[in-house]
A and B are shown apart, each in its own frame.
Chain A
């Protein structure tokens, strides 16, 4: 395979490369899968993209997606999820291991990578489970999974309940220099709950999940991290109390990072009033005060990464009674404008700050050399029209699932091109040239 990919010249875009402190208008040339030149360049390349008025960003990274393969391929496959990812501007995603069977051994890790390579859309990473079968009892083969390329470990979908097991997992994982991620939720407080505990749960007659369930486990884990110094990542934090705990941990200099989802920045528990299961997520939608606390945390720089927690489910499952329906929102393809709506429009942060949380900061959590656009870096690039208006229509998603509460929302910000390793893997309708 000696053929070289066509060179791509991206002209006159607003180049935002937060890792390198770059925010300037420039041309960028991609050749041999790498960024080969930046500056005022002659119009000479196989493909020329006019990016005037557009943002040219390092490819977006989502460190929390569920692609459901193996086990629930009806809902999503690694191929359909990958197509959704590039349509959302993501050049790298991290699949969570709570598939069925779960990704708790090296063979499964290799399987996910293979399917990712075959899909040939976005880079696919995967975390292995912390415990065998996600049962929370025995450590899984983290070392073998790390050798097979697992990028971190988590039992996501639920947290590790047993404190001794979690302590051992953190100690053990530390020797592979992989991040340990946790879905913070104390089951003794949250099990059976389907929404935030509080007045609205009282009115709706639905069992609640107390914010304390999240905060208790986060607090516990932070104590364990003090002891082990393992890199620890709190997934999808959702409460004002969690923000406080993260602030404290960072002040103490602990290796603790966290992520926030678009839905916890935009939606509140009030929206459940019609029992619409599209709003059923775990952790649940909280109150306006929590949303505001999360936005403030982002403004303060306490939040390291934004993550979709893309969780596709079948329509027939979401049509079940609220109690029985599965948790999750499919949002990969509309995440970027949602972040804009939640964070840029109200003046919480600006584009460079937003893109930092979607590029090099998640890359740093994962310890991968991505999310930057210096000369010589791998050409993972997302080209965004920040002001293009469009209406979210889940029926047009590349994802197999359409469980999306944002249907019909008119949003601003559109991914025009997604370039992965120097190849255009996605371009928005009407934005030729596109060999994909």
Chain B
């Protein structure tokens, strides 16, 4: 496939752990590469040979049908063999470590490990312990890089650029890996990010991040070009982070009423799955401003690009180490 960029930039990372460590150039390079894969879905034969003979394992320690399917499809479109490894209980027992599991898979000749895990740093740990490429598909509340890349991609696709845009991220920022990766990606690409939610859902020393913070959605909604509604994590309600879902959606839910105050061309995004009627009203989710389904299809192109690039870096590395 031909690169859409004419730069002589060469991708050298065989792992994608987070977007914090990526430069603007690297992020743009992934987005540009994804553009080359975008038209795949419209072809009659939706396959490229880039990963032929390679083995990709989807190691999911947390449920996520959507992300897993997206990676599986992306890998198979690049002609890789895909192993699904699902384990919902976490590997916290003595004697059965994440690394053991990964090493076992690696012994079967796995080239790329896509990992989703409940513990922050799990992907990082893996990348230090095995030779295969590691792609982070979400670790604890650390990062979810491909989600943020597909968000950035979608915004760029519609708005042309992120430079100067005001983007609101609404909800549980403290426990959201999507928010973290978004903050890194969007600000690097020149957007202004406003985090919206109650103080109990803001991470510690959030003022050190290159973002603004607002506790009131109503106060900022008219300024936004894009609004990214995070999913309410019901399992965190036990933490008493806000009084009730009812009160939360009163202040932070994206309703038709509230959307009337926004710019007419605001993009409404959501990483899914939706809690309809809570953080987002159905009519909004399915309305003209919503790009939620576009995010899903762009996710495929992004994941193809990432799989393609890390594999390319691994091949280059192997070449470099030849005598």
- Binary A-proximity of B186-211 (CB < 8 A = 1, otherwise 0): 00000000000000000111101100
Q: Cβ of B94: which chain A residues have Cβ within 8 Å of it? A: 314, 316-317
User: Is B71's beta carbon under 8 Å from chain A?
Assistant: no
| Distance from B181 Cβ to chain A, minimum over Cβ atoms (Å) | 10
- Binary B-proximity of A185-223 (CB < 8 A = 1, otherwise 0): 000000000000111011111101000000000000000
User: Is B98's beta carbon under 8 Å from chain A?
Assistant: yes
- Binary A-proximity of B75-102 (CB < 8 A = 1, otherwise 0): 0000000000000001110110111000
- 16 contacts across the A-B interface (CB closer than 8 A): A201-B203, A202-B206, A204-B142, A205-B140, A206-B121, A274-B124, A316-B94, A319-B97, A320-B92, A320-B97, A321-B91, A321-B117, A322-B125, A323-B120, A324-B92, A324-B119
Contact A205 B97 (CB under 8 A): no
Which residue of the partner chain, among A198, A199, A204, contacts B120 with CB atoms under 8 Å? A204
User: Is A111's beta carbon under 8 Å from chain B?
Assistant: no
CB within 8 Å of A: which B201-231 residues = 203-206, 208-209
User: Is A275's beta carbon under 8 Å from chain B?
Assistant: yes
The 5 closest A-B pairs by CB, nearest first: A205-B142, A275-B121, A321-B119, A205-B120, A323-B119
| Interface secondary structure of A, over-half rule | loop
Which residue of the partner chain, among A201, A208, A321, contacts B125 with CB atoms under 8 Å? A321
5 additional A-B pairs beyond A205-B177, A206-B141, beta carbons within 8 Å, are A205-B120, A316-B97, A321-B121, A322-B121, A324-B119
Contact B90 A204 (CB under 8 A): no
| Distance from A260 Cβ to chain B, minimum over Cβ atoms (Å) | 24
Asked whether A206 and B142 contact (CB < 8 A) given A322-B120, A323-B120, the answer is yes
Which residue of the partner chain, among B90, B180, B205, B209, contacts A205 with CB atoms under 8 Å? B180
| Distance from B297 Cβ to chain A, minimum over Cβ atoms (Å) | 27
Asked whether A198 and B143 contact (CB < 8 A) given A322-B125, A324-B92, the answer is no
What is the bound-complex CA distance between A321 and B115, given in angstroms?
13
What is the bound-complex CA distance between A230 and B14, given in angstroms?
59
What is the bound-complex CA distance between A149 and B118, given in angstroms?
45
Q: Cβ of A202: which chain B residues have Cβ within 8 Å of it? A: 174, 203-206, 208-209
Q: Cβ of B209: which chain A residues have Cβ within 8 Å of it? A: 202
What is the bound-complex CA distance between A197 and B203, given in angstroms?
9
Q: Cβ of B99: which chain A residues have Cβ within 8 Å of it? A: 319
User: Is B20's beta carbon under 8 Å from chain A?
Assistant: yes
| Distance from A367 Cβ to chain B, minimum over Cβ atoms (Å) | 38
CB within 8 Å of A: which B261-303 residues = none
The interface centre, meaning the residue of A274, A317, A319 with most chain B CB atoms within 10 A of its CB, is A319
What is the bound-complex CA distance between A198 and B206, given in angstroms?
9
What is the bound-complex CA distance between A275 and B121, given in angstroms?
6
Q: Cβ of A319: which chain B residues have Cβ within 8 Å of it? A: 97, 99, 125, 129
Of chain B, the residue at the smallest CB distance from A326 is B94
Q: Cβ of B139: which chain A residues have Cβ within 8 Å of it? A: 205
Of chain A, the residue at the smallest CB distance from B209 is A202
